């Protein structure tokens, strides 16, 4: 379901057209369609198991789609596409690992580079420039495993950006961050998207930390999607059609709570998970 038609003077960086994926006899994604333009900040929103990571794997060329097509920079998918930067969901950085933050950033420098590698001085300049871009120069020489969650995310983002991608994918980068760190990472990504004209696609189960900067979102439920602006997509009638059952959209103090269930909000059973109130098919309110 494409709620808002995609328009723009530039060609899209990412075009997903009618993508469906079947795994082990089950349809994981169904007829997914959306586009992302240069410099746009797009949220891929959905609960765990909705199909977000599978969609990322398709875009990265790691998972074949059963139907449909994906174009990156106007061209068909290839593995290790040099115009895609990627920050995976789970990266364990051992406190005893003898790597500084700047070493991790430098590891991303030659991933897609052909020909003669950069000399030492140019490498140092490139790494320092990227550390500055993510406001991480002050802990550049600290062991990466000793950094806070938010600091580690800055390092991983710099690692993904140093090869100068045109599309940056981030899989649940806000997981396990406190509210302050969430806001800092989101503001950083939004600034990079604007300044460098990089298209950002960030997956999250909670839309609220992204609301101040979202250009559009792709909402995923049971493998189906709706795309458009927040105002176009996060409406009771749109999400009810997406879930195939009644959905309520509540707005409280500038935040959004999405409740799916026949009984409505009063029938929801909440559980405490990592400090967030989470129930059946809920974009959490914190």
Q: What tens digit of pLDDT does each residue of 78-97 get?
A: 777 889 999 988 777 777 78
Same domain, 122 and 220: no
Domain closes at, from 110, 130, 157: 157
Say what the pLDDT of residue 64 is: 93
Same domain, 62 and 189: yes
Same domain, 147 and 194: no
Same domain, 74 and 1: yes
Say what the pLDDT of residue 43 is: 96
Same domain, 175 and 200: yes
Say what the pLDDT of residue 203 is: 95
Domain closes at, from 110, 131, 157: 157
- Tokens standing for 198? 């990089």
* Per-residue pLDDT tens digits of the chain, which is 286 residues long: 655 444 445 689 999 999 999 999 999 999 999 999 999 999 999 988 889 999 999 999 999 999 999 999 999 987 778 899 999 887 777 777 888 999 999 988 865 444 445 667 888 899 999 999 899 999 999 999 899 988 999 999 999 999 889 999 999 999 888 889 999 999 999 998 998 899 999 999 999 999 999 999 999 998 899 999 999 999 999 999 988 888 899 998 888 988 866 443 332 222 323 333 333 344 433 3
CB 66 within 8 A of CB 22: yes
Cα-atom radius of gyration of the chain, to the nearest Å? 19
Say what the pLDDT of residue 121 is: 82
Say what the pLDDT of residue 198 is: 94
Say what the pLDDT of residue 115 is: 45
Same domain, 139 and 5: no
CB 112 within 8 A of CB 137: no
Q: How many structural domains is the chain composed of?
A: 2
Residue 115 domain-assigned (yes or no):
yes
Q: Which residues are 256's β-sheet partners?
A: 251
Residue 272 domain-assigned (yes or no):
no
Same domain, 11 and 61: yes
Domain closes at, from 140, 157, 174: 157
Same domain, 76 and 186: yes
Say what the pLDDT of residue 86 is: 93
Residue 241 domain-assigned (yes or no):
yes
Closest CA to 28 of 2, 8, 4, 56: 56
Say what the pLDDT of residue 261 is: 60
Beta strands 67-72 and 75-76, pairing class? antiparallel
Residue 117 domain-assigned (yes or no):
yes
Residue 138 domain-assigned (yes or no):
yes
Residue span of the structural domain in which 102 resides: 93-157
Same domain, 108 and 213: no
Residue 279 domain-assigned (yes or no):
no
Say what the pLDDT of residue 267 is: 28
Same domain, 120 and 236: no
* Domain at 235, CATH number: 3.40.50.300
Say what the pLDDT of residue 266 is: 33
Give how far Cα 249 sits from Cα of 2, 234, 256, 272, Å.
19, 7, 7, 20
How far from chain centre, in Å, is Cα 265?
Answer: 28
Residue 77 domain-assigned (yes or no):
yes
Closest CA to 243 of 218, 219, 279, 208: 219
């Amino acid at each position: 379901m494409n709620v808002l038609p995609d328009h723009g003077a530039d060609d899209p960086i990412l075009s997903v057209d009618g993508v469906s994926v079947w795994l082990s006899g089950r349809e994981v994604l169904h007829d997914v369609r959306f586009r992302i333009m240069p410099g746009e900040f797009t949220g891929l929103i959905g609960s765990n198991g909705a199909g977000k990571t599978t969609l990322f794997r398709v875009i990265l060329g790691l998972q074949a789609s059963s139907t449909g097509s994906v174009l990156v920079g106007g061209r068909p998918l290839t593995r290790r596409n040099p115009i895609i930067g990627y920050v995976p969901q789970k990266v364990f950085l051992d406190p005893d690992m003898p790597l500084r933050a700047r070493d991790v950033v430098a590891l991303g420098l030659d991933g897609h580079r052909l020909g003669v590698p950069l000399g030492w001085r140019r490498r140092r300049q490139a790494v320092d420039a990227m550390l500055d871009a993510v406001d991480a120069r002050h802990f550049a020489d600290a062991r990466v495993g000793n950094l806070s969650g938010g600091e580690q995310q800055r390092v991983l983002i710099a690692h993904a950006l140093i090869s100068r991608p045109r599309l940056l994918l981030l899989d649940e980068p806000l997981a396990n961050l406190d509210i302050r760190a969430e806001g800092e990472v989101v503001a950083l990504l939004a600034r990079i998207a604007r300044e460098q004209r990089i298209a950002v696609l960030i997956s999250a189960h909670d839309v609220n930390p992204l609301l101040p900067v979202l250009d559009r979102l792709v909402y995923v439920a049971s493998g189906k999607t709706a795309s458009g602006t927040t105002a176009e997509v996060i409406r009771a009638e749109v999400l009810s059609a997406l879930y195939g059952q009644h959905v309520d959209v509540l707005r409280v103090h500038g935040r959004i709570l999405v409740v799916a269930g026949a009984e409505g909000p009063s029938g929801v059973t909440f559980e405490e998970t990592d400090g967030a109130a989470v129930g059946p098919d809920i974009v959490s309110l914190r």
